[in-house]
Amino acid sequence: MIAIIDYDMGNLRSVQKAFEKIGHAAIVTRDPKTIQDASHVVLPGVGAFPDAMKNLERFKLIDPIVKGIEEGKPFLGLCLGLQLLFTEGEEFGIHRGLDILKGRVVRFQISNNGTKTKLSIPHIGWNTIQMKTQSPLFKDVPNGSYFYFVHSYYVVQEDNRWASTTTEYGLEFTSSIWKDNIFACQFHPEKSQDQGLKLLRRFAEMG
């Protein structure tokens, strides 16, 4: 069973419907026992980093996330769900993340050396990915494929070996990661049509 963690941070139903579309049942839940018993865990999210961490703590969801990852269970973070895996985020001050991976979540800048650029923040819309590692999540996805993004912050990792893809938006940033059983995407596969569904199918079939 695939457990989609419900912590009041958006787009849960669209993720569930995407899994259903590819023939895999998924349950939206905030029950720690259900998450603990699941074969696969998904942490989606849209919203602010500090609010998300407060909600994970309030609903007592941090332990089942950490334990599931430690047990080797396939884990997928989506958008904010990727960012929360890291040490800290700088949205509305410095806030502690799950610290499962080492790194910081920082904001895109719309100027470079004082010169305005044409970038708009947040980064919204379709953009391409460049493969950096042979992640099993991307086995059937061509290099340079387009995925759908909505975010104002990106991850700066301490160890770039975790970057499975990067994307250009004023700079080259990590758009997905892979470390052991941990997979995460800054983009939204559930909104990325056929290529996004391929990723979700590959994740659902892991085990």
In this predicted model, what pLDDT tens digit does every residue of 53-71 receive, in sequence order?
A: 999 999 999 999 999 999 9
Which is catalytic among the residues 57, 185, 190, 205? 190
Least Cα distance to 163 among 189, 137, 131 occurs for 131
First-to-last alpha carbon distance for the chain, in angstroms, is 11
State the pLDDT at residue 13. 93
Nearest to 46 by CA among 196, 188, 200: 188
What is the dotted CATH code of the domain comprising 2-204? Answer: 3.40.50.880
185 is catalytic: no
Q: How confident is the model at residue 207 (pLDDT cuts 50, 70, 90)?
A: confident
| Domain residue spans of the chain | 2-204
95 counts as catalytic: no
Alpha-carbon distance values, 133 to 130, 143, 144, 147, 161 (Å): 9, 11, 14, 17, 8
Q: Which of 119, 202, 101, 207 is nearest to 155 (CA)?
A: 101
CA distance 148 to 88: 24
Q: Where are the extended beta strands (E) located within the chain?
A: 2-5, 26-29, 40-43, 75-78, 86-89, 95-96, 101-107, 111-112, 115-116, 123-128, 130-131, 146-151, 153-157, 163-168, 172-179, 182-185
Check if the beta carbon of residue 127 is closer than 8 Å to that of residue 147.
yes
Per the annotation, the verdict on 190 as an active-site residue is yes
Quick one: pLDDT at residue 112? 53
Write down the catalytic residue from 40, 123, 151, 188. Answer: 188
Which tens digit of pLDDT belongs to each residue from 95-129?
A: 999 999 999 999 998 655 555 556 899 999 999 99
Candidates 24, 40, 79, 88; catalytic one: 79
pLDDT of residue 109: 84
pLDDT mean across residues, the chain: 94
Report the pLDDT value the prediction gives residue 77, as an integer from 0 to 100.
Answer: 98
